[in-house]
């Protein structure tokens, strides 16, 4: 039996002020899937993501990554397996050069010399930024910085790539370039987004959260075409965008 990339069972979490964020989330993602996580603000999406690599710990329920439970003893390996790309790339880029930023994580794992350099080159090549290795990150465009942020995570060779609003603040060319990169990666992807056309473009499957639970899980096109579901969960498509009119996804 193939082990899922991610298994979440009965996950519940309440913040110290008494605000319940997760009320029993069940979610399973197969290896290699690209899944969009949708829902209104306050639905619990960010809290769920913070449980995937142990930033937060379950108060009830469990999280298992590639067969490895997310518990204290496994956190180092879990955090290598689950790479999170934050919405603002400047939260992840803090070294003098792009090369040093991408090398930071693997170096902390003990990689040195040619092995480290090869890991950095491969990650930068995957996002089309190899020629910018010696530039200062703050001299890059926003879209380029986001791609470098993705490379810093890819350099850890994760099993799951989690992206928080990856298309935000990107111009149309930047959105397309990032989409091409994400489609080319042989990795499980969980994409948290309010950009519903981007979800349809990249993710064959979508999961909708609201009120701390999963309220829908299915093909992205079907979910975005369900007007009652969309209205009930405060999800709105751009004016004039009709999911049924968009060509079928290339899921390869």
CA atoms within 13 A of residue 50's CA, in its CB half-sphere: 13
Which one has a higher pLDDT value, 222 or 250?
Answer: 222
The pLDDT value recorded for residue 1 is: 72
The pLDDT value recorded for residue 2 is: 85
C-alpha span between 12 and 196 (Å, rounded) = 27
pLDDT at residue 121 is higher than 90: yes
pLDDT digits (tens, 9 = 90+) for 45-80: 999 999 999 999 999 999 999 999 999 999 999 999
The pLDDT value recorded for residue 252 is: 42
pTM over the 0.85 mark: yes
pLDDT at residue 250 is higher than 70: no
pLDDT at residue 239 is higher than 70: yes
Choose among 158, 147, 217: nearest CA to 188: 158
pLDDT digits (tens, 9 = 90+) for 80-102: 999 999 999 999 999 999 999 99
Whether domain 6-88+158-245 has CATH 3.30.70.260: the reply is: no
- Number of Cβ within 10 Å of residue 188's Cβ equals 24
Tokens of 23: 């009320």
The pLDDT value recorded for residue 89 is: 94
Q: Which pLDDT band, with edges at 50, 70 and 90, does 245 fall under?
A: confident
Beta bridge partners of 15: none
């Amino acid at each position: 039996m193939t082990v899922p990339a991610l298994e979440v069972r009965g996950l519940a979490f309440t913040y110290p002020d008494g605000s319940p964020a997760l009320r029993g989330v069940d979610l399973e993602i197969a290896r290699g899937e690209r899944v969009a996580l949708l829902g209104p603000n306050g639905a619990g999406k960010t809290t769920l993501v913070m449980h995937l690599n142990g930033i937060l710990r379950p108060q009830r329920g469990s999280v298992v990554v590639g067969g490895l439970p997310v518990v204290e003893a496994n956190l180092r390996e879990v955090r290598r397996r689950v790479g999170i790309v934050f919405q603002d790339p400047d939260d992840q880029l803090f070294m003098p050069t792009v090369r040093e930023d991408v090398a930071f994580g693997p170096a902390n794992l003990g990689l040195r010399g040619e092995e480290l350099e090869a890991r950095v080159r491969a990650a930068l090549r995957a996002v089309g930024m190899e020629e910018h290795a010696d530039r200062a990150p703050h001299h890059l465009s926003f879209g380029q910085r986001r791609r470098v942020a993705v490379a810093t995570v890819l350099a850890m060779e994760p099993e799951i790539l989690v992206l928080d609003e990856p298309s935000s603040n990107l111009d149309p060319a930047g959105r397309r370039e990032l989409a091409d990169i994400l489609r080319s990666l042989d990795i499980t992807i969980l994409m948290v987004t309010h950009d519903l056309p981007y979800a349809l473009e990249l993710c064959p499957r979508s999961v909708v959260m609201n009120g701390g639970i999963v309220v829908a899980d299915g093909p992205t096109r079907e979910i975005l075409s369900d007007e009652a579901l969309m209205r009930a969960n405060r999800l709105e498509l751009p004016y004039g965008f009709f999911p049924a009119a968009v060509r079928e996804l290339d899921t390869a």
